[in-house]
């Protein structure tokens, strides 16, 4: 057993300001730090603590050591009526990918469909942040991104693909959009980072140790497991092809390490698919049908041990509403770091994928 750490509740605007100031102290320009902080607060408010404030120390160290371009030259290359590539120059991922989303929205407004790749960016955080923005403007959205090799492929012992997440959103008529975000592993690596920060055990179905055995200790993790075995394995390969190989970027085990050399740029890829439902059906009827789908899911009698049937991603929205109103819970150790004068703890560089 490991002892859990203390949790503190922080007002959202205060958390945003603390994160922004820490990232600026590391070297980010204000607009880039502001967008990154907004993204991290969103993740924590949704309960996706794996992509929230727990990442600030790592980001600050990489920024300070030159692994992120402070003033990137972000260029949009339109490659067709509905396609394009945003060259991110390895700027901070949240800012680059938010800029890329703007280009994707411009394209979908023009042609009803947009497929936009993001080439050469750093870690970009929770994909749900981006697809939710698209859905709030009335579009269906699908996003995928690659990550460094941390997953034991089905039937193998060595890691090859990353957690390679997928996010989807759909607009609704009078409610928050449906937003669904998932790693193609049983659980995202960031969830294990969150468990480490809180000294909290993990289920033995999430990961394996150095010997390939299931582990409940987040500090002993040496490989993640694909969701549903071969099915998750297939999905993570698909994501790597679409968000990496398709953009001419490194793939699989060749994707850059998050921790090995924080002075080097990461050259990661991301891709967006946006669809205007009005090009296929009546957009208002479409939204009404999504609402009806949600209502019908809610009307299904819950199985034993459940209080209600929720649509995928609904609990994240519920947490978001609650935490934005009442305050966001984060590990006390993270809060102490954010309010300190320390820019970063110099603890990530030169380590392997599963660095403490």
Active site residues: 123
Burial class (CB in 10 A: 0-12, 13-18, 19+), 185: buried
Eight-state DSSP code of residue 110: H
At 326 the three-state DSSP class reads helix
Q: Which residues of 104-116 are buried (b: 16+ CB within 10 A; e: fewer)?
A: bbebbeeebbbbb
65 and 262 in contact (C-beta within 8 Å)?
yes
- What separation in angstroms does the CA of 264 have from each of 136, 215, 250? 36, 32, 14
Helix (H) or strand (E) holding 84: strand 83-87
For residue 111, give both structure tokens: 């042609």
Eight-state DSSP code of residue 226: B
Distance CA 123, CA 210 (A): 25
Distance from the Cα of residue 155 to its chain's centroid: 27
Task: Work out whether strand 113-121 and strand 83-87 pair parallel, antiparallel, or are unpaired.
Answer: parallel
93 and 268 in contact (C-beta within 8 Å)?
yes
């Amino acid at each position: 057993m490991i002892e859990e750490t203390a949790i503190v509740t922080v007002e959202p605007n205060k958390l945003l300001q603390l994160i922004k100031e820490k990232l600026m102290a590391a070297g980010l320009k204000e607009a880039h730090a502001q967008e990154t902080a907004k993204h991290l607060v969103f993740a924590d408010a949704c309960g996706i603590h794996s992509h929230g404030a727990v990442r600030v120390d790592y980001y600050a160290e990489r920024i300070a050591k030159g692994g992120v371009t402070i003033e990137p030259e972000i260029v949009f290359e339109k490659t067709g009526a509905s396609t394009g590539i945003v060259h991110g120059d390895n700027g901070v991922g949240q800012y680059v990918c938010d800029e890329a989303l703007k280009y994707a929205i411009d394209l979908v407004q023009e042609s009803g469909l947009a497929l936009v790749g993001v080439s050469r960016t750093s870690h970009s955080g929770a994909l749900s942040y981006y697809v939710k923005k698209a859905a709030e403007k009335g579009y269906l959205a699908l996003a995928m991104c690659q990550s460094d090799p941390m997953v034991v492929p089905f039937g193998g012992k060595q890691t090859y693909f990353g957690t390679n997440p997928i996010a989807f959103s759909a607009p609704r008529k009078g409610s928050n959009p449906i937003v669904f975000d998932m790693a193609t592993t049983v659980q995202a690596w960031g969830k294990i980072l969150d468990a480490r920060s809180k000294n909290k055990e993990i289920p033995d179905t999430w990961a394996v140790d150095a010997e390939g055995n299931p582990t409940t200790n987040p500090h002993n993790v040496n490989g993640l497991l694909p969701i549903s075995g071969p099915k998750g394995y297939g999905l993570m390969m698909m994501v790597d092809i679409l968000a990496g190989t398709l953009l001419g970027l490194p793939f699989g085990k060749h994707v850059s390490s998050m921790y090995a050399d924080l002075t080097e740029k990461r050259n990661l890829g991301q891709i967006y698919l946006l669809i205007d439902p009005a090009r296929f059906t009546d957009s208002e009827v479409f939204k009404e049908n999504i609402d009806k789908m949600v209502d019908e899911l809610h009307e299904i009698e819950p199985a034993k041990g459940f209080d209600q049937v929720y649509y995928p991603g609904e609990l994240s929205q519920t947490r978001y509403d609650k935490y934005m109103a009442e305050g966001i819970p984060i590990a006390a150790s993270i809060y102490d770091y954010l309010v300190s004068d320390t820019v970063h703890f110099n603890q990530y560089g030169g380590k392997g994928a599963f660095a403490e």
